[in-house]
């Protein structure tokens, strides 16, 4: 019985690196709001081991954007984003910054959209919560997160007019969407051994209780 806690510790130790470094991780946008009150929702997969984004499914709702660089504003439609953007030469995705756009908006009658997802700390395969670089917090070296779009029917890069919506706040989280990794042979063997030991311990306790009951009845 003394060995049982040590076996449990061994199993947990063996499983921890696998559970803590599962890849890729699915990140969900949570409470992501623009300055105009519009929302950004959706999710994406990211593998920090290979610096690979995939399965991108992000949507922004309609709202009001500023016409850069002046103070004028205009209404903008919402957009759907499903790929790493190829519209900014030299911009390589990283664990702290990625640009995404829509594979079906070349060209579009609604004006092309481009989102910058800038994170205040790097994404890792451990998951958790990571804050987006919204204007409600201090700036980061990658710049504030937000959405750029062009007036219809122009494609990005815009010709003479860029519509900008910066993020006010928001986070990405993996806690509700983490996939369960497959167990390796060694970890699986330890888990089976633990289950067997727990079963044997339960059987031993049952046998002991039965023996005590018989002794008690014989004494009466």
Greater pLDDT, 148 or 191:
148
The Cα–Cα gap between 25 and 84 comes to 17
Which residue, among 98, 1, 12, 82, has the nearest Cα to 42 in the 3D structure? 82
Identify any residues that bridge with 163 across adjacent strands, giving them in sequence order.
Answer: 67, 149
Domain residue limits, the chain: 3-16+184-219, 23-173
Which residue, among 113, 106, 99, 118, has the nearest Cα to 148 in the 3D structure? 113
What is the structure's pLDDT at 86?
78
Confidence (pTM):
0.69
What is the structure's pLDDT at 69?
82
Greater pLDDT, 156 or 36:
36
What is the structure's pLDDT at 174?
94
Maximum pairwise Cα distance, the chain: 100
Q: Of 48-62, 78-92, 143-157, which range is least confident?
A: 143-157
Residue 110: both structure tokens together: 């609604």
Dihedral over alpha carbons 145, 143, 148, 48 (to 10 degrees): -60
The Cα–Cα gap between 135 and 149 comes to 19
pLDDT (average), residues 27-32: 97
Dihedral over alpha carbons 74, 79, 83, 85 (to 10 degrees): -10
pLDDT tens per residue, range 172-206: 999 754 444 545 555 546 545 545 655 555 555 55
Secondary structure percentages of the chain, helix, strand, coil, to 5: 25, 35, 40
Interhelix angle 3-20/185-219, rounded to 10 degrees, is: 150
């Amino acid at each position: 019985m003394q060995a049982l806690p040590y076996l449990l510790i061994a199993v947990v130790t063996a499983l921890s690196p696998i559970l803590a470094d599962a890849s890729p991780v699915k990140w969900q946008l949570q409470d992501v709001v623009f300055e105009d009150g519009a929302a950004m929702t959706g999710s994406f997969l990211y593998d920090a081991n290979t610096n690979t984004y995939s399965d991108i499914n992000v949507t922004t709702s309609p709202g009001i954007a500023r016409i850069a660089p002046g103070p004028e504003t205009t209404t903008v439609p919402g957009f759907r984003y499903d790929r790493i953007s190829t519209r900014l030469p030299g911009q390589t995705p990283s664990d702290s910054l990625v640009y995404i756009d829509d594979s079906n908006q070349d060209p579009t009658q609604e004006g092309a959209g481009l989102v910058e997802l800038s994170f205040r700390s790097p994404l890792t395969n451990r998951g958790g919560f990571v804050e987006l670089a919204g204007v409600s917090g201090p700036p980061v070296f990658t710049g504030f997160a937000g959405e750029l779009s062009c007036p219809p029917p122009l494609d990005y890069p815009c010709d003479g007019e860029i519509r900008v919506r910066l993020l006010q706040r928001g986070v990405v989280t993996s806690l509700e969407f983490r996939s369960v990794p497959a167990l390796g042979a060694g970890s699986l063997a330890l888990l089976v051994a633990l289950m067997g030991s727990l079963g044997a311990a339960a059987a031993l306790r049952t046998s002991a209780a039965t023996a005590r009951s018989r002794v008690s009845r014989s004494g009466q």
